[in-house]
Amino acid sequence: MGIFSNNTTEKNIDITKIKLPEHLGIIMDGNGRWAKKRGLPRSAGHSAGAKTFRTITRYCSDIGIKHLTLYAFSTENWTRPPEEVSALMKYFKDYLEEALRDFLDDTVKIKFIGDISAFPDELRELMEENERVSKDRSGMVLNLAMNYGGRSEIVYACRKIAKMAANGEISPENIDEKLISDNIYTAGQPDPDFIIRPSGEYRTSNFLLWQSAYAEYYIDDVLWPDYTKEHLNKALLEYSKRNRRFGGV
């Protein structure tokens, strides 16, 4: 497990022995283009992408990633064709039912970040049940960004802080970066060290805007349904070689 065999000049490197990010973010992108290239409906791309999601999530847990945040459904994705949104809801439901049924002895702790109130009752109840069942697990924290947008997350935090100020719990002078970090969806978790975007697109797409101020980025041309453990290994090796200065020298 975790040995490079191709896609890199490095040979026989144990991925668990290199410097890994404590918090990894992945923008799962390219399902639609993958389907289009094959003359298939976009839903087929999402189905293939769901399989990749399962594989990569399990692999990240196995190699020792502590926090993994996957961008599954953005606040903007509601504008997609209704049939595509419906297909996505089905895949989300299938995964959540599977997680409850087949992963009772799993160590992964599941959390949802975003405004889940917008989802159908059945799906929202499955999300809440998965969080409840997994809350005491000691393994990797899997953040699933659902109906998530980085800007809306900052607005969410500002509203919480404004209520605190209105209630006399804090004064405006108390508002600092730590207070904002303590009131966003990922409160209590480290900021992402490394963010990967498959599909070759060069933009953040409203993902973890506050948290990613000093994250390292990596763009891969492969579309998400074709993304493999080997692609991830190559990205992680690149991360291990970077010198993170956080604005210093």
106 is catalytic: no
Residue-by-residue DSSP string for 139-181: S-EEEEEEEE-HHHHHHHHHHHHHHHHHTTSS-GGG--HHHHH
The identity of residue 214, as a single letter, is Y
Catalytic member of 6, 12, 14, 29: 29
The sign of the CA dihedral 195, 199, 202, 204 is: negative
Nearest residue to 92 (alpha-carbon basis) of 65, 139, 53, 133: 53
115 is catalytic: no
Note whether 230 and 6 are within 8 A (CB). Answer: yes
Helix (H, G, I), strand (E, B) or coil at 195: strand
Any residues with CB less than 8 A from the CB of 187 and at least 6 apart, and which? 181
Catalytic member of 12, 14, 62, 77: 77
Q: How far is CA 108 from CA 104, 145, 224, 231, 236, in A?
A: 10, 16, 22, 22, 20
Strand-pairing partners, residue 194, are 24, 216
If one counts every other C-beta atom within 10 angstroms of the C-beta of residue 62, the result is: 15
How many residues comprise the chain? 249
- For the annotated catalytic residues, the residue numbers are 29, 77
